[in-house]
Structures are given as structure tokens and as C-alpha cells.
Amino acid sequence: MDIVYIRDLRIETIIGIYDWEREVKQTVSLDLEMATDIRAAASSDDIEHALNYKAVSKRLIAHVENRQAQLVETLAEEIAGLVLKEFPVPWLRLRVSKPGAVRGARDVGLIIERGSKPQ
């Protein structure tokens, strides 16, 4: 199994349960690891055979910027479902964090794994 990753993709969005959070955009940070097989891309040197991390990033930015979730959990499930449905990814690990959400902590968030992990 090979992994294509995106690290610290920062997106501005409305997220949170408190009234003030519904009025201002906050930054969420995404770390995404996606299972894939890179051999076809490596041998052809052609992006058409690769998991295009730019396309994944653009799709996630478009979704998250226009979504106004209350919970990080909701956003994480949506992101995982979107990637598994729209890209050739059988398994992923996703970390969603809200930098600065808790005083004294760099960030808070969660990590989920979805799909079937290839051997």
C-alpha cells in the first residue's frame, strides 16, 4: 500500500456551536492520508494514472468553505465520504483540527479512518 498525503490544508469556514462561531469564519486544518497504488503513475510519469492531490485539495476547499457545520465530527464524516466516493481511494486517515479553539492548546480536533485498508 502506498499513501498520498496532504498536510495542514488550511480552510476558512463557519464552524462551531456557539452564536459567535456562527458569525465569523474560523480556520480548520486538514491532514489527509489516502491509500493508493502509485506504480502505474510512476511507470507512465502521467498524472492521469496518479491520485491528483491538487484535485483532492481543490474539492475539499470548495466543500469546506461553503459548509457551515456545527461539529468537527460532522465535517470529518462529510470529508471522508466525499473523498471515498469521488476519488480512487479505498482507505483514508483524516485529521481535522481547529487551531486556537481552546486557550492554552495549539489546536483541538479528531482523527478518523474510513474505508478498507489495503495490505
Give dist(CA 59, CA 89) in Å, integer: 14
Confidence of residue 119 (pLDDT cuts 50, 70, 90): confident
- Is 85 assigned a catalytic role? no
| pLDDT tens sequence across 1-46 | 899 999 999 999 999 888 888 999 999 999 999 999 999 999 999 9
Catalytic residue among 58, 85, 98, 117: 98
Q: For the chain, which domains are there?
A: 2-115 (3.30.1130.10)
Beta bridge partners of 112: 94
What pLDDT is stored for residue 28 in this prediction? 97
Average confidence score pLDDT of the chain: 95
What pLDDT is stored for residue 89 in this prediction? 97
What pLDDT is stored for residue 102 in this prediction? 83
Instruction: Return all residues near 37 (Cβ < 8 A) that are at least 6 apart.
Output: 1, 2, 118
